[in-house]
Amino acid sequence: MTNKTKLLEIKNLHRHFPIKKGFLEQITLENGKVTRKVEKVHAINGVDLTINKGDALCVVGESGCGKSTVARVVMNLISPTEGEIIYDGTRIDNLKSKTLLPFRKRMQMIFQNPYASLNPRMTILDTLMEPIKFHYPKKTEQERRTILDDTMESVGIDPSWVVRYPHEFSGGQRQRISIARALSTDPEFIVADEPISALDVSIQAQVLNLLMKAREERQLTFLFITHDLSVVEQFGSHVAVMYLGTICEYTTTKSLFDKPLHPYTQALISAIPKLEEDNRPHVKLHGEVPTPVNLPTGCVFHTRCPFANDRCKTETPAKQEAEPGHFVACHAVDEDRI
């Protein structure tokens, strides 16, 4: 597929969360003067991403880097502080609820925790029928039930189980039900926020295979949030590596694993356990991850980077196309110091 169509564009996305919301909480005394100090968590800082139809973009990075915040901003669950979300040519981050409704049907989300994402007071029938009734108001009750049964069978859940409550299912079964809920509106774009991380290792592969099957059969486009690079290698067509709210590397999955360019990506890939011999040296990162409240100046990774110099400490690196389709934000790569 050479001429791909853009489905989702994220432009200069920022999201900051104030720590102290009240006015009086922001008043402090410094050097004998009353000042107002507004502290913020800088969760996302200038993220740019493009997802083409049919792609599976995996966003990876350690805990607290802003992956899940990106997912929630894309789904309009939280609004961006700055930037734009453009879906199929239409900017959606500034739309009101009524105008956003058609996009809700086309965009669905699978949450991380299957124990928290299902209402314990609702049967599985009520849980799955709710989005079907909402998005298909003109269909008859029999037609809706047919959609529900077909969707449940497609994820390996017996339709006769709909009379049960969430507590009667295992974690893997609950996540299958959550996937069925996302697929029930026949979407074209799925945001999956670490959908297998809360599951036992024994059933992670089953759920991942289910998502891969759904992607192939339904021609779905995915934004897949994960911290597990072994999952990325199986599932993703493209990868964006995040660190402290910024994208440090973006390319195809094959290119990333064949030739990681950013020092942080190299460290992540070197940490993947392998059974066969691997000639790549293990990269050890020293120091602690800086707080997103007070971000480092320059490159946010320079406090842990073995290749950092004075330029890295003062100048924020811009995203450059180091190789065709392979983008990296790193002064050391730009200056051939790696």
CA distances from 29 to 36, 39, 106, 195, 293 (A): 9, 15, 51, 46, 20
6-334: CATH topology is Rossmann fold (3.40.50)
CA 4 to mean position of chain CA atoms: 21
Q: State the Cα–Cα distance between residues 277 and 268, nearest whole angstrom.
A: 17
Distance CA 295, CA 311 (A): 16
pTM of the prediction? 0.89
Q: Residue 248 corresponds to which tokens in the numbers above?
A: 């440090």
Q: Where are the domains of the chain?
A: 6-334
Instruction: List the one residue out of 48, 126, 124, 116 whose CA is nearest residue 320.
Output: 48
Predicted confidence at residue 97, as pLDDT, reads 86
Q: Return the pLDDT at 23.
A: 61
| Amino acid at site 117 | S
Q: How many CB atoms lie within 10 A of CB 129?
A: 20
Q: Given this model, what pLDDT does residue 279 score?
A: 66
Please report the pLDDT score of residue 272 as a whole number.
79
Beta-carbon contacts of 137 under 8 Å, excluding residues fewer than 6 positions away, are none
| Helix H or strand E segment including 119 | none
> Strand locations in the chain, DSSP E?
6-18, 27-30, 33-36, 40-52, 56-60, 82-87, 90-91, 107-110, 189-193, 221-225, 238-243, 246-252, 320-323, 326-328
- Interatomic CA distance for residues 113 and 294, integer angstroms: 29
> CA-CA distance, 157 to 150, in Å (whole number)?
10
∠ CA 171-176-178 to the nearest 5 degrees? Answer: 95
Positions of the chain with pLDDT lower than 50, given as ranges: 1-2
pLDDT of amino acid 201: 84
